[in-house]
Chains A and B, each alone.
Chain A
C-alpha cells in the first residue's frame, strides 16, 4: 500500500513538473555523454596500444616471406640469424640499455593481432605468415632508441626497427587532451545538473507543501514524505543517463564501427559492445547525482 502510494506520488509529481523534469533529463543526458565520451577516448587509446605498447618501446621486426626491405634480400630470417640477434641483444654493449626483451613468433603476432583487431573485418584476411616475427625491447631509457636502431637496422634478417612510441605518442596526447576537455565540460555540466535537480525538487516540494504538511500532521514517516521527491530526481537523472548510454553506443556502432573502420582499416577501434561497460557507471553516476542533490535540498526545504 505504501509502495503503491509512493509510486502514485512520484507519477503525479513527474507530471506536475514536466518541463523541469525534461530539463533535468536533458542536462544529465548532456553531462553524462561528456563523461562517457572521455571514457570512450580512454578505451580507444587502450585499443590502439594493443598488446605491446605499455610493455616495450622498441620493436625489431624480422624478415618474412614477402619482405621487400633491403636487409631482407636473402629471404626470410634464418634460425642462425635469429640466434645471433638474440645473443647481440644479450651482449653487454646492448644489454646496458635494455631492461628486458621478448621474442614474438609469427603465431603470437597473429594472436595479438586478432585480439586487437577483433572488431575489424581486416582480421579475416590476415594469416600468420603475413605477420613478421619480432624482438620487443623494454628500454631502460626510451630516449636511447637511436642506439638500438643503429645497432640492429643493418643486421642480416632484420626488416626494420621501430620506435612504437614515436608513432602513437602524439595521437595519444591529442586524445588524452580531448578526454580532459570532455571531463572538464562534463564537470561544469554536472554542476548544472546538480543545481537544476535541486531547483526542481524545491519547486516540487513547494507545489506539494499542502500534501506534505498534512502528511507531517498525520504522522507519515520521513521516508514516505521525502522518498517521492528523491525518486523523482533519480528517475529523471537515470533517464538522462540511459539516453547518454544510447548515444555513446550509437557513436561506437555507426561512427566508429561502420564509418571510421572503413576509412582507417589499419586502426583498431573499440566495438559498440565494449561501450556497454560504461552503461552501469553512467546510470549509477546519474542516480547518485540526483540522490545527493535531493538529499541536500530536502534537508533544507522539507522539514519533518
Chain B
C-alpha cells in the first residue's frame, strides 16, 4: 500500500537529511507505528506519502503509484484516498461537529443526501453520537480528536495517517483514541501512526518502525516501543525499557533490528 524505495529527503543542504535512504513497505490493511525522537523524520515520512513534499531522491509508491509521477491536478485524487489526523486536531472553530465532518464531503462534491446519511454513521463509529451540534470549543480534547478522525475517514480512504494523534491527550483518553484507530484498521484501512508515546505502542503490540536521524533503525512486527534486540549504541535506551517493560514482555519481537 505504501512503499519507500531508497527515499532521501533533504530540506536544507547544510543540515543532515530529514530522511536518509529509507526502504520500507507497509501492506494493505496493516497497522504500523512510526516511532522515534522528535526530529527523527516521522512527519516528513507522512508528508511524502501525501505528496505535500517531494522526495529528494528515491521513489514513494502509494497504492502502486509512484507519487512523483502524479500530475498536480491529480494530486487531490491521491489525497482523497488518504485520511490524515494531527496532534492539534485542526477543526474549524466556527463549524459544529456535524459541519466539520460534512466539510470533508462537501469540498469533494458529495451530495447533500449522501452527507446526511454518512456523517451520523461515522460519528457513531468514533463514539460521538448525539454530539452533532456541539461546537469544537464545547468538546474535550479526546472528543475533538474523534471529530478529526471522523473527518479523516468519512470519505472511506484506504490509508489513514496519524501524526502524534495522542500527543495532546492524557493516557486514558489516548487509549480511547487507539481503540477507534484499531477499529478503523479492523475494517480494512491501512493505518500509519507517528508517535513517541511508548505506553500506547507497548499496549497495542503492532508493527513498529523506528527512525533515528532520518534512518530506519528498527522494523519489528508486534513490537514494543523499544527493542529487546540489542543494537550497537542503543544500550542506554534498552536499559530504560528493561526497567519498565522487561517483565511484561519477556521475549523479543519477531522482526529484525536494523542500523
Contact = CB atoms under 8 A, between A and B. Distances in A.
Contacts of B81: 219
A10 B88 CA distance: 27
Interface in B91-128: 92, 103-104, 106-112, 115
A221 B83 CA distance: 16
Interface string B128-163: 000000000000000000000001100100000000
B92 A220 contact: no
Interface residues of B, number: 27
The interface size bin for chain A is: 10 to 19
Contacts of A224: 107-109
A218 interface: yes
A154 to B, nearest CB: 81
B222 interface: no
Interface stretch (B72-80, B204-212, B232-240): B72-80
Interface string A184-226: 0000000000000000000000000011011111111110110
B197 to A, nearest CB: 23
Interface in A1-54: 1-2, 5
A217 B155 CA distance: 12
Interface string A166-183: 000000000000000000
Interface string B1-16: 0000000000000000
Contacts of A214: 90, 92, 103-104, 151
Given A218-B151, A221-B76, A304-B72, A213 B90 contact: yes
A210 B151 CA distance: 14
Contacts, number: 60
A209 to B, nearest CB: 11
A210 B92 contact: yes
A218 B90 contact: no
Contacts of B107: 2, 5, 215, 218, 220, 224-225
Contact of A219 (B103, B108, B111, B115): B108
Contacts of A1: 106, 109-112, 115
B34 interface: no
Nearest to A225: B107
Contacts of A221: 73, 76, 108
B215 interface: no
Contacts of B76: 219-222, 304
Given A210-B90, A210-B92, A222-B73, A216 B79 contact: yes
B92 A218 contact: no
B50 interface: yes
Nearest to B77: A219
A229 to B, nearest CB: 14
Contacts of B80: 218-219
A5 B50 contact: no
A4 to B, nearest CB: 8
Interface string A274-304: 0000000000000000000000000000001
A222 B108 CA distance: 11
Given A214-B90, A304-B72, A2 B109 contact: yes
B152 to A, nearest CB: 8
Given A1-B106, A1-B111, A1-B112, A219 B92 contact: no
Q: Which 10 A-B pairs have the closest CB atoms?
A: A219-B80, A219-B79, A220-B107, A2-B109, A218-B104, A219-B76, A5-B106, A215-B107, A221-B76, A217-B84
11 contacts: A2-B107, A5-B107, A213-B90, A217-B84, A218-B80, A218-B107, A218-B151, A218-B152, A218-B155, A219-B79, A219-B155
